[in-house]
Amino acid sequence: MTLQRVPRPAGLTLHARRRRFRLDTAGHVGWDGEVTTDTETDVFEEHRPVLLGVAYRMLGRVADAEDVVQEAWLRWSGADRSQVREPRGYLVRITTRLAIDRLRQVKARGETYIGPWLPEPYVTDFGHTVPDSAERAVLADSVSLAVLVVLESLSPLERAVFVLREAFGYPYAEIAAMLDRGEAAVRQLAGRARKHVDERRPRYEVDPVQRRDLTERFLAAAAEGDLEGLMSLLAPDVRLVGDSGGKAKAPVRVLETADKVGRFLVGAAQKGVADVSFRFLEVNGGPAVLVRSGDKPDSVFQLDVLDGRIQAVYIIRNPDKLTSLATA
Protein backbone atom coordinates (compact mmCIF):
# COMPACT_ATOMS: atom_id res chain seq x y z
CA MET A 1 0.00 0.00 0.00
CA THR A 2 1.18 3.54 -0.78
CA LEU A 3 0.46 6.33 1.69
CA GLN A 4 -1.73 9.08 0.29
CA ARG A 5 -1.81 12.48 1.91
CA VAL A 6 -5.08 13.50 3.46
CA PRO A 7 -6.21 16.52 5.47
CA ARG A 8 -4.95 16.48 9.02
CA PRO A 9 -7.17 14.09 10.99
CA ALA A 10 -8.94 14.71 14.25
CA GLY A 11 -6.45 12.34 15.87
CA LEU A 12 -6.39 9.10 17.77
CA THR A 13 -7.64 7.91 21.09
CA LEU A 14 -4.93 6.17 23.06
CA HIS A 15 -5.91 3.45 25.50
CA ALA A 16 -4.55 5.46 28.39
CA ARG A 17 -3.46 4.24 31.77
CA ARG A 18 -5.79 4.92 34.71
CA ARG A 19 -5.15 8.38 36.12
CA ARG A 20 -4.21 9.02 39.72
CA PHE A 21 -7.06 11.49 40.26
CA ARG A 22 -10.83 11.12 40.06
CA LEU A 23 -12.42 11.94 36.75
CA ASP A 24 -15.59 13.34 38.31
CA THR A 25 -13.79 16.08 40.27
CA ALA A 26 -15.66 19.37 39.98
CA GLY A 27 -14.00 21.88 37.67
CA HIS A 28 -11.36 21.22 35.02
CA VAL A 29 -8.74 18.62 35.91
CA GLY A 30 -5.23 19.11 34.58
CA TRP A 31 -2.64 16.48 33.82
CA ASP A 32 -1.09 17.06 37.24
CA GLY A 33 -4.41 16.35 38.96
CA GLU A 34 -5.06 19.92 40.08
CA VAL A 35 -8.43 21.59 39.54
CA THR A 36 -8.41 24.67 37.34
CA THR A 37 -11.15 27.14 36.50
CA ASP A 38 -10.06 28.50 33.11
CA THR A 39 -10.05 27.01 29.65
CA GLU A 40 -6.37 25.99 29.42
CA THR A 41 -7.27 22.35 30.10
CA ASP A 42 -10.20 22.41 27.67
CA VAL A 43 -7.92 23.59 24.88
CA PHE A 44 -5.27 20.99 25.70
CA GLU A 45 -7.79 18.16 25.99
CA GLU A 46 -9.24 19.08 22.59
CA HIS A 47 -5.87 18.42 20.99
CA ARG A 48 -4.61 15.64 23.25
CA PRO A 49 -5.61 12.77 20.88
CA VAL A 50 -3.48 14.30 18.12
CA LEU A 51 -0.57 14.83 20.50
CA LEU A 52 -0.76 11.22 21.63
CA GLY A 53 -0.92 10.11 18.01
CA VAL A 54 2.23 12.08 17.17
CA ALA A 55 4.11 10.93 20.28
CA TYR A 56 3.20 7.28 19.85
CA ARG A 57 4.22 7.20 16.19
CA MET A 58 7.49 8.85 17.17
CA LEU A 59 8.26 6.50 20.06
CA GLY A 60 6.35 3.25 19.56
CA ARG A 61 5.78 3.02 23.31
CA VAL A 62 2.53 3.89 25.08
CA ALA A 63 4.07 4.90 28.40
CA ASP A 64 6.71 7.08 26.73
CA ALA A 65 4.05 8.76 24.58
CA GLU A 66 1.97 9.52 27.66
CA ASP A 67 5.01 10.91 29.48
CA VAL A 68 5.82 13.20 26.55
CA VAL A 69 2.24 14.49 26.36
CA GLN A 70 2.20 15.08 30.11
CA GLU A 71 5.38 17.14 29.78
CA ALA A 72 3.72 19.05 26.93
CA TRP A 73 0.81 19.79 29.27
CA LEU A 74 3.17 21.16 31.92
CA ARG A 75 4.79 23.46 29.38
CA TRP A 76 1.42 24.54 28.00
CA SER A 77 0.03 25.31 31.44
CA GLY A 78 3.06 27.46 32.25
CA ALA A 79 3.25 29.26 28.92
CA ASP A 80 2.14 32.79 28.06
CA ARG A 81 -0.81 31.69 25.94
CA SER A 82 -1.66 35.25 24.92
CA GLN A 83 1.19 34.92 22.41
CA VAL A 84 -0.11 31.62 20.98
CA ARG A 85 -2.07 32.19 17.76
CA GLU A 86 -2.77 28.56 16.91
CA PRO A 87 -2.83 26.20 19.93
CA ARG A 88 -2.79 22.98 17.93
CA GLY A 89 0.35 23.87 15.99
CA TYR A 90 2.02 25.14 19.18
CA LEU A 91 1.22 21.91 21.05
CA VAL A 92 2.26 19.64 18.19
CA ARG A 93 5.57 21.51 17.99
CA ILE A 94 6.23 21.05 21.72
CA THR A 95 5.23 17.38 21.60
CA THR A 96 7.36 16.65 18.54
CA ARG A 97 10.44 18.28 20.02
CA LEU A 98 9.99 16.42 23.31
CA ALA A 99 9.60 13.14 21.41
CA ILE A 100 12.78 13.85 19.42
CA ASP A 101 14.66 14.45 22.67
CA ARG A 102 13.28 11.21 24.13
CA LEU A 103 14.32 9.24 21.03
CA ARG A 104 17.82 10.66 21.17
CA GLN A 105 18.12 9.69 24.83
CA VAL A 106 17.04 6.13 24.04
CA LYS A 107 19.54 5.82 21.18
CA ALA A 108 22.32 7.31 23.32
CA ARG A 109 21.77 4.69 26.02
CA GLY A 110 22.36 1.99 23.41
CA GLU A 111 20.29 -0.55 25.29
CA THR A 112 20.26 -4.10 23.91
CA TYR A 113 16.82 -5.61 23.41
CA ILE A 114 16.57 -9.39 23.68
CA GLY A 115 15.01 -10.86 20.56
CA PRO A 116 12.94 -9.07 17.90
CA TRP A 117 11.41 -5.72 18.83
CA LEU A 118 7.81 -4.71 18.13
CA PRO A 119 5.95 -1.54 19.17
CA GLU A 120 3.80 -1.57 22.27
CA PRO A 121 0.22 -2.43 21.20
CA TYR A 122 -1.92 0.66 20.73
CA VAL A 123 -5.70 0.28 20.92
CA THR A 124 -7.32 2.31 18.13
CA ASP A 125 -10.91 2.85 17.05
CA PHE A 126 -10.65 4.10 13.48
CA GLY A 127 -13.61 1.98 12.38
CA HIS A 128 -15.99 4.06 14.49
CA THR A 129 -14.26 7.44 14.69
CA VAL A 130 -12.94 8.05 11.15
CA PRO A 131 -15.79 7.84 8.60
CA ASP A 132 -13.72 8.61 5.51
CA SER A 133 -12.27 5.34 4.18
CA ALA A 134 -9.19 6.92 2.54
CA GLU A 135 -8.29 8.84 5.68
CA ARG A 136 -8.92 5.73 7.77
CA ALA A 137 -6.57 3.69 5.58
CA VAL A 138 -3.75 6.26 5.89
CA LEU A 139 -4.14 6.50 9.65
CA ALA A 140 -4.20 2.72 10.06
CA ASP A 141 -1.17 2.26 7.82
CA SER A 142 0.90 4.95 9.53
CA VAL A 143 0.40 3.34 12.95
CA SER A 144 0.70 -0.30 11.81
CA LEU A 145 3.22 -2.59 13.46
CA ALA A 146 5.03 -3.12 10.16
CA VAL A 147 5.52 0.59 9.49
CA LEU A 148 6.51 1.43 13.07
CA VAL A 149 9.21 -1.25 12.96
CA VAL A 150 10.65 0.42 9.85
CA LEU A 151 10.42 3.87 11.48
CA GLU A 152 12.72 2.62 14.25
CA SER A 153 15.58 2.67 11.73
CA LEU A 154 15.10 6.36 10.88
CA SER A 155 16.94 9.19 12.60
CA PRO A 156 14.81 11.16 15.10
CA LEU A 157 14.51 14.11 12.69
CA GLU A 158 13.62 11.89 9.73
CA ARG A 159 11.01 10.14 11.82
CA ALA A 160 9.48 13.43 12.97
CA VAL A 161 9.23 14.74 9.43
CA PHE A 162 7.75 11.48 8.16
CA VAL A 163 5.11 11.35 10.91
CA LEU A 164 4.07 14.99 10.57
CA ARG A 165 3.98 14.88 6.77
CA GLU A 166 2.67 11.41 5.93
CA ALA A 167 0.35 10.72 8.85
CA PHE A 168 -0.88 14.21 9.70
CA GLY A 169 -0.51 16.03 6.39
CA TYR A 170 1.39 19.07 7.63
CA PRO A 171 2.87 21.31 4.89
CA TYR A 172 6.65 21.42 4.65
CA ALA A 173 6.71 25.05 5.73
CA GLU A 174 4.88 24.29 8.99
CA ILE A 175 7.12 21.31 9.71
CA ALA A 176 10.17 23.48 9.10
CA ALA A 177 8.89 26.05 11.61
CA MET A 178 8.16 23.31 14.19
CA LEU A 179 11.67 21.87 13.88
CA ASP A 180 13.58 25.15 13.37
CA ARG A 181 14.88 23.91 10.03
CA GLY A 182 14.80 25.37 6.56
CA GLU A 183 12.05 24.16 4.25
CA ALA A 184 14.56 22.77 1.74
CA ALA A 185 16.23 20.73 4.49
CA VAL A 186 12.85 19.40 5.61
CA ARG A 187 12.01 18.34 2.07
CA GLN A 188 15.31 16.44 1.88
CA LEU A 189 14.59 14.72 5.21
CA ALA A 190 11.11 13.79 3.99
CA GLY A 191 12.45 12.37 0.75
CA ARG A 192 15.05 10.23 2.49
CA ALA A 193 12.55 8.98 5.06
CA ARG A 194 9.90 8.14 2.46
CA LYS A 195 12.41 6.29 0.28
CA HIS A 196 13.70 4.34 3.27
CA VAL A 197 10.20 3.33 4.39
CA ASP A 198 9.04 2.43 0.87
CA GLU A 199 12.07 0.18 0.34
CA ARG A 200 11.69 -1.71 3.62
CA ARG A 201 7.98 -1.84 4.37
CA PRO A 202 6.16 -5.07 3.54
CA ARG A 203 3.11 -5.02 1.27
CA TYR A 204 -0.19 -5.97 2.86
CA GLU A 205 -3.95 -5.52 2.60
CA VAL A 206 -5.71 -3.04 4.87
CA ASP A 207 -9.26 -4.39 4.33
CA PRO A 208 -10.38 -5.03 7.94
CA VAL A 209 -13.07 -7.53 6.89
CA GLN A 210 -10.59 -9.78 5.10
CA ARG A 211 -8.05 -9.48 7.90
CA ARG A 212 -10.69 -10.28 10.51
CA ASP A 213 -11.87 -13.33 8.55
CA LEU A 214 -8.35 -14.72 8.16
CA THR A 215 -7.59 -13.96 11.81
CA GLU A 216 -10.63 -15.97 12.94
CA ARG A 217 -9.68 -18.91 10.72
CA PHE A 218 -6.07 -18.68 11.86
CA LEU A 219 -7.10 -18.66 15.52
CA ALA A 220 -9.37 -21.67 15.07
CA ALA A 221 -6.72 -23.71 13.25
CA ALA A 222 -3.98 -22.80 15.73
CA ALA A 223 -6.16 -23.53 18.78
CA GLU A 224 -7.07 -26.96 17.36
CA GLY A 225 -3.47 -27.76 16.43
CA ASP A 226 -4.57 -28.14 12.81
CA LEU A 227 -1.26 -27.95 10.92
CA GLU A 228 -2.87 -28.62 7.55
CA GLY A 229 -5.44 -25.91 8.15
CA LEU A 230 -2.71 -23.45 9.15
CA MET A 231 -0.59 -24.26 6.12
CA SER A 232 -3.53 -23.46 3.84
CA LEU A 233 -3.65 -19.94 5.31
CA LEU A 234 0.07 -19.15 5.39
CA ALA A 235 2.01 -17.71 2.47
CA PRO A 236 5.06 -19.84 1.56
CA ASP A 237 7.45 -17.09 2.74
CA VAL A 238 5.44 -16.09 5.83
CA ARG A 239 7.37 -14.55 8.75
CA LEU A 240 6.63 -14.86 12.47
CA VAL A 241 7.97 -12.07 14.69
CA GLY A 242 7.75 -12.70 18.42
CA ASP A 243 8.50 -9.96 20.95
CA SER A 244 9.10 -11.07 24.53
CA GLY A 245 12.06 -8.91 25.54
CA GLY A 246 13.46 -12.03 27.22
CA LYS A 247 10.64 -11.88 29.79
CA ALA A 248 8.34 -14.56 28.32
CA LYS A 249 8.59 -17.53 25.99
CA ALA A 250 8.82 -16.53 22.33
CA PRO A 251 11.21 -17.16 19.43
CA VAL A 252 14.43 -15.20 19.86
CA ARG A 253 14.74 -14.94 16.08
CA VAL A 254 12.28 -14.25 13.28
CA LEU A 255 10.85 -17.52 11.93
CA GLU A 256 10.48 -17.82 8.18
CA THR A 257 8.64 -20.22 5.82
CA ALA A 258 5.19 -21.71 6.26
CA ASP A 259 6.55 -25.02 7.55
CA LYS A 260 8.56 -23.49 10.41
CA VAL A 261 5.84 -21.01 11.38
CA GLY A 262 3.06 -23.61 11.21
CA ARG A 263 4.95 -26.17 13.30
CA PHE A 264 5.87 -23.56 15.89
CA LEU A 265 2.24 -22.46 16.25
CA VAL A 266 0.98 -26.03 16.57
CA GLY A 267 3.61 -26.76 19.21
CA ALA A 268 2.69 -23.62 21.14
CA ALA A 269 -1.01 -24.54 21.00
CA GLN A 270 -0.28 -28.00 22.38
CA LYS A 271 1.49 -26.48 25.40
CA GLY A 272 -1.47 -24.15 25.87
CA VAL A 273 -2.17 -21.21 28.18
CA ALA A 274 -3.83 -21.71 31.55
CA ASP A 275 -7.45 -20.50 31.80
CA VAL A 276 -7.19 -19.06 28.30
CA SER A 277 -9.66 -16.65 26.71
CA PHE A 278 -9.60 -14.57 23.53
CA ARG A 279 -10.89 -11.11 22.65
CA PHE A 280 -10.82 -9.29 19.32
CA LEU A 281 -9.60 -5.69 19.41
CA GLU A 282 -8.60 -3.05 16.90
CA VAL A 283 -4.89 -2.64 17.56
CA ASN A 284 -2.59 -0.35 15.58
CA GLY A 285 -5.30 0.18 13.00
CA GLY A 286 -6.17 -3.46 12.33
CA PRO A 287 -7.91 -6.49 13.87
CA ALA A 288 -5.92 -8.30 16.54
CA VAL A 289 -6.51 -10.87 19.24
CA LEU A 290 -5.80 -10.32 22.92
CA VAL A 291 -5.01 -13.62 24.64
CA ARG A 292 -5.70 -13.71 28.37
CA SER A 293 -4.60 -16.14 31.03
CA GLY A 294 -7.24 -15.72 33.69
CA ASP A 295 -7.60 -11.98 34.19
CA LYS A 296 -4.09 -11.12 32.94
CA PRO A 297 -3.01 -10.31 29.37
CA ASP A 298 -0.75 -13.09 28.08
CA SER A 299 -0.12 -11.89 24.52
CA VAL A 300 -1.43 -10.01 21.51
CA PHE A 301 -1.20 -11.31 17.99
CA GLN A 302 -1.93 -9.68 14.66
CA LEU A 303 -1.60 -10.73 11.01
CA ASP A 304 -0.48 -9.01 7.83
CA VAL A 305 -2.45 -10.30 4.84
CA LEU A 306 -1.88 -10.09 1.09
CA ASP A 307 -3.73 -11.85 -1.73
CA GLY A 308 -5.76 -13.90 0.72
CA ARG A 309 -2.74 -15.40 2.50
CA ILE A 310 -1.02 -14.55 5.78
CA GLN A 311 2.30 -12.80 5.10
CA ALA A 312 3.36 -12.06 8.68
CA VAL A 313 2.39 -13.08 12.20
CA TYR A 314 3.21 -10.64 15.00
CA ILE A 315 3.12 -11.91 18.58
CA ILE A 316 3.77 -9.56 21.51
CA ARG A 317 4.39 -11.31 24.84
CA ASN A 318 6.63 -8.85 26.69
CA PRO A 319 4.57 -8.22 29.85
CA ASP A 320 5.84 -4.64 30.05
CA LYS A 321 4.11 -3.93 26.71
CA LEU A 322 0.77 -5.42 27.77
CA THR A 323 0.05 -3.33 30.87
CA SER A 324 -2.16 -0.86 28.98
CA LEU A 325 -4.36 -3.81 27.93
CA ALA A 326 -5.08 -5.00 31.46
CA THR A 327 -8.61 -3.54 31.32
CA ALA A 328 -9.18 -3.97 27.58
286-293/234-243 β-pairing:
unpaired
Distance between CA 64 and CA 71 in Å, rounded?
Answer: 11
Distance between CA 185 and CA 175 in Å, rounded?
Answer: 11
- The CATH architecture one would assign to domain 208-325 is Roll (3.10)
191-226 residue pLDDT tens: 999 999 999 988 877 678 889 999 999 999 998 889
> Which residues of the chain have a pLDDT value below 50?
1-37
Distance between CA 191 and CA 66 in Å, rounded?
Answer: 29
**pLDDT value at residue 7:** 40
Q: How are strands ordered across the β-sheet holding 286-293?
A: 255-256, 234-243, 309-316, 296-306, 286-293, 276-283
Task: Work out whether the CA dihedral 69, 73, 74, 76 comes out positive or negative.
Answer: positive
The DSSP annotation for 210-233 comes to: HHHHHHHHHHHHHHTT-HHHHHHH
Class (C level, CATH) for 28-115+150-200: mainly alpha
Per-domain residue ranges for the chain?
Answer: 28-115+150-200, 208-325
Residue 288's DSSP bridge partners are 281, 302
37-91 residue pLDDT tens: 458 888 899 999 999 999 999 999 999 999 999 999 999 988 887 788 889 999 9
**pLDDT value at residue 291:** 95
- Burial group, residue 155, by CB count within 10 angstroms (0-12, 13-18, 19+): middle
